[in-house]
Chains A and B, each alone.
Chain A
Amino acid sequence: MAKKHLYQVLFLIFLWLLEIALSRVFAEEKFIIPQLVLLYVIVLALTRSQVESIWYAFAAGFLQEVFSGLFFGAHVFSLIIIAVLVYFVTRHWTVQDISFVASVLTVFTSTILLIILTFFYHQFFVFLNFAEKAALGSFFGLGIVLTIFLNLIFFYLFRALFTFFIKRNERPL
């Protein structure tokens, strides 16, 4: 059990470092960088228990805060909400082994939701005069379509990886 968590934490840290390295090297083409940490949270919410997924969402959000220019907590808050929503939807509205259409909708909604939640979280603290205003337009761009497409590809990769290790080591949830 402890070994499983250790591997999961190390994998999360690796994905986070990779995403940071990609954002440094491909800064001019930021929309071709898949959101690896977000996808990790989504796949975890799909394959693990709710408690486990929200704690990992918290850890993932905290890592994202290290280089964030938004008010502290924006990524923590957003990733936790996304983890809760993905868990809820895939346990009550669809099946856990979600179809292609459901996968596309999940990835698409999560990508857009991450932007919207972080923006509104930040705007809340702008309203309280704790932060400076940020324009929603600086978060969005037409390239978000490419990001969503890349997210979908990596989503299937991560899901296959997790499913493989779950089948190998544990009983399915």
Chain B
Amino acid sequence: MPRALIHLLIIFVILAALIFLKAVGPLDYVLDFTRQTVLYLNKPLVQVLTVNREFFVFISNLRDVARQNAILSRQVAELAGSLAKLEGLGEENRVLREALGLTSRSKLALISAEVIGFDPQSVERSVILGRGSRHSVAAGDAVVGSSGVMVGVISTVSERTSQMELITSGKVVVNARTSNGSATGVVRGEHGLGLLFDLIGQDQTVKLNDRIVTSGLGGQFPQDLLIGTVGEIRSSPSELFQKASVIPAANLRNLQVVFVVKPP
């Protein structure tokens, strides 16, 4: 038997053993440790590359920088005014709730986590986070981005790292509703290609640009986490349920820091 074929057979036996070890669990410690090591080893490289990237992005966007600056300055002034009004409304809200005897809305407990790696074959499916079971992360926890938008769900947890399935992954199904409450259904990922708002009753109303948020039904995910906006209605009155495509609100390709949501 040719020598190379013997070595090939040995390698495939080793691969089978590794698959078994991965299924049983011991290999997860090795992968977990390797990810943590890579996180530290890669810091200088990432910093150098980030500086280079920012430099080239800045150079290519010089023409737009001044215009964006003017727009942002105007937005800051408008937001400052809105903030002042909201603070007044917030205080009024608190007073009314206390008067009616309602409990104050629970605040979510958040665990910050750095994104330390992406699936090398497909960025749209899963990412590795630098937090694990020792940081109280558990499988099934919702994950939000820095703007409070839902970005995914924790799928597997090791001691120091965890794997998050992006919300566009086929594994993720979330009970959802429109922000104005006119329609309820489920949002499911379309295997990395987008989101589908499904199982909407024909008697309910869903329109283009409606904001979709988690409904909190089932208790798995907190309610009112923004998922995205309706991009296209994909059904007809003759079907049992309505469907709509949802454009994710988060930029899933540029995740750097995310937050794992723990139930109160």
Contacts and interface: CB of A to CB of B under 8 A. Distances in A.
Interface of A: 17-28, 30, 50-51, 54-55, 58, 62, 64-70, 72-77, 80, 84, 114-115, 118, 130, 132-135, 137-139
Contacts of A66: 31, 34-35, 38, 117
B153 to A, nearest CB: 12
B203 to A, nearest CB: 32
Closest 6 CB pairs of A and B: A138-B192, A69-B126, A135-B191, A67-B117, A69-B119, A21-B45
Q: A67, A73, A75 — which one has the most chain B CB atoms within 10 A of its CB?
A: A67
A13 to B, nearest CB: 9
Contacts of B49: 21-22, 25-26
A-side interface mostly: helix
B219 to A, nearest CB: 23
Contact of A27 (B23, B128, B255): B255
A21 B42 contact: yes
Interface stretch (B2-10, B78-86, B137-145): B2-10
B46 A72 contact: no
Contacts of B42: 17, 20-21, 24
A138 B53 contact: no
A50 B8 CA distance: 10
B193 A138 contact: yes
Interface string B42-55: 10011001100100
Contacts of A133: 170, 191
Interface residues of B, number: 49
Interface of B: 3-4, 7-8, 11, 14-15, 18-19, 22-23, 27, 31, 34-35, 38, 41-42, 45-46, 49-50, 53, 115-126, 128, 163, 165, 169-171, 190-193, 251, 253-255
Contact of B3 (A19, A51, A135): A51
25 contacts: A17-B41, A17-B42, A17-B45, A20-B42, A20-B120, A23-B123, A27-B253, A27-B254, A50-B4, A54-B7, A55-B7, A58-B11, A67-B117, A67-B118, A67-B128, A68-B119, A69-B125, A70-B119, A118-B121, A133-B191, A135-B190, A137-B192, A138-B124, A138-B125, A138-B192
A70 B123 CA distance: 11
A69 B122 contact: yes
Contacts of A27: 118, 123, 253-255
Nearest to B51: A25
Contact of A19 (B50, B120, B122, B255): B120
A28 B120 CA distance: 13
Given A58-B15, A70-B119, 4 more contacts: A17-B41, A17-B42, A20-B38, A68-B120
Given A54-B11, A135-B190, A138-B125, A72 B22 contact: yes
Q: B11, B116, B126, B165 — which one has the most chain A CB atoms within 10 A of its CB?
A: B11
B8 A80 contact: yes
B125 A134 contact: yes
A77 B12 CA distance: 8
A23 B117 CA distance: 8
Contacts of A70: 119, 121-122
Nearest to A64: B120
B35 A67 contact: yes
Contacts of B165: 69
A65 to B, nearest CB: 7
A89 to B, nearest CB: 15
B11 A55 contact: yes
